[in-house]
Amino acid sequence: VSAPDLAGRHVVVSAGGTREPLDPVRYLGNRSSGKQGYALARTAAARGARVTLIEANTGITDPAGVDVVHVGTAVQLREAVLKAAADADAVVMAAAVADFRPAAYATGKIKKKDGEEPAPVALVRNPDILAEIAGERPRPGQVVVGFAAETDDVLANGRLKLARKGCDLLVVNEVGERKTFGAEENEAVVLAADGGETPVPYGPKEALADVVWDLVVPRLGPAGLD
């Protein structure tokens, strides 16, 4: 059993992958399973935190002792995260948020027409929730953590992303065939804005989650009143 070093703290974790609808039956999505986010939520609860888990399209059963908010799209995820972050000591964005969404939503199913080429799908940018939270820090002293999946120059790209997003910690993992998506295990390096670099060997997603909380705890501001 881990130390209750998150007792008296409220943490927000996002998990899963957003789905951006084209029409009532179709969406643009991604392969995020949500397992890493659930591992973060479970381990935080085990360490004594009050946990709000904002979940997008995982199909995973709600963990006991965790407040779960179910969302579908990036815009809904943003609203739920901003609301929960208002009094949070830490926010961990483990969800895979679609960078773009279809510019238009068809209220009826899009039909194919004989002899016609398909219409191109126009996209617009989704808000960058991590950058927004890291920039605004809804609560003073809040610790903000992001995730990055990279396929090459993992550490160099991770450093650039950490700076661009303005978060305190960035969990970088190399993705590729066989790696990470949907797997039970993960391998990563956690980069810190203060220059720290913590490699986490291939192992259960719970183990990586505990390393993240180990790095969050010493960075937390003074405990609040809740």
- Binding site, annotated residues: 99, 109, 127-130, 147, 161, 165
Rg of the chain in Å (alpha carbons): 18
Counting DSSP H helices and E strands in the chain, the numbers are 5, 12
Interface positions with ligand C5P (CB under 6 A): 74, 93, 95, 97, 99, 126, 128-130, 146-148
Residue tagged active-site, from 30, 57, 173, 186: 30
Is there a contact between 141 and 220 (Cβ–Cβ < 8 Å)?
A: yes
What is the rounded CA–CA span in Å between residue 161 and residue 191?
A: 10
Residue 30 designated active-site? yes
Residue-by-residue DSSP string for 88-155:
-SEEEE-SB--SEEES---SS-----TT-PPPP--EEEPP-HHHHHHHH-SSTT-EEEEEEEESSSHH
Least Cβ distance, residue 146 to ligand C5P (angstroms): 3
Strand 10-16 and strand 90-93: pairing? parallel
Least Cβ distance, residue 97 to ligand C5P (angstroms): 4
Strand 185-192 and strand 169-174: pairing? antiparallel
Q: List, as residue ranges, the binding site for CTP.
A: 99, 109, 127-130, 147, 161, 165
Least Cβ distance, residue 127 to ligand C5P (angstroms): 6
Least Cβ distance, residue 139 to ligand C5P (angstroms): 17
Residue-by-residue DSSP string for 128-142:
-HHHHHHHH-SSTT-
Active site residues: 30
